[in-house]
């Protein structure tokens, strides 16, 4: 049996997806990208956002085996994009926005099939 790695977020909650009382209200991530205003993301919110990204990629014709570049800072949105890409069956390809090689290629060639989800 094959397991979609992107679906593992469902089992990251202490009780599993939709199981146990209050699973969706438990905090999954505390985003400290703005330390003065930390954001608490619940398992239910994270799960829904990952599903939304997977659906957005599928609507654009991306799925099993397709590579999806992720150019993002270390934030909650990066985790959502990573898991959402895997849920769509695609392969996430993290790109560092500080790597000059990546920047040069993007500026020279552009990103094929790049769309913001």
Q: Give me 93's structure tokens.
A: 């390809």
Q: Could you report the per-residue pLDDT of 16-39, keeping only the tens digit for each? A: 555 556 677 888 899 888 889 999
DSSP state of 25: G
Domain that holds residue 47: 5-109
Within 10 Å of residue 77's Cβ, how many Cβ atoms? 17
> What's the CATH code of the domain at 100?
3.40.50.980
Q: Could you report the per-residue pLDDT of 68-80, keeping only the tens digit for each? A: 988 887 788 999 9
Q: What are phi and psi of 49, to 5 degrees?
A: -70, -40
Helices (H), the chain: 9-12, 43-59, 76-87, 100-109
Q: Does residue 115 lie in a domain region?
A: no
Q: Does residue 116 lie in a domain region?
A: no
């Amino acid at each position: 049996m094959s397991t979609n790695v992107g679906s593992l977020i469902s089992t990251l909650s202490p009780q599993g997806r939709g199981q146990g009382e209050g699973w969706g209200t438990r905090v999954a991530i505390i985003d400290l990208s703005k330390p003065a205003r930390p954001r608490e993301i619940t398992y239910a919110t994270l799960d829904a956002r990952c599903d939304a990204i997977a659906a957005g990629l599928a609507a654009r014709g991306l799925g099993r085996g397709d590579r999806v570049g992720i150019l993002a800072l270390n934030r909650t949105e990066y985790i959502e994009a990573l898991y959402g890409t895997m849920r769509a069956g695609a392969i996430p390809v993290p790109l560092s926005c500080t790597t000059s090689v990546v920047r040069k290629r993007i500026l020279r060639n552009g990103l094929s099939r790049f769309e913001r989800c």
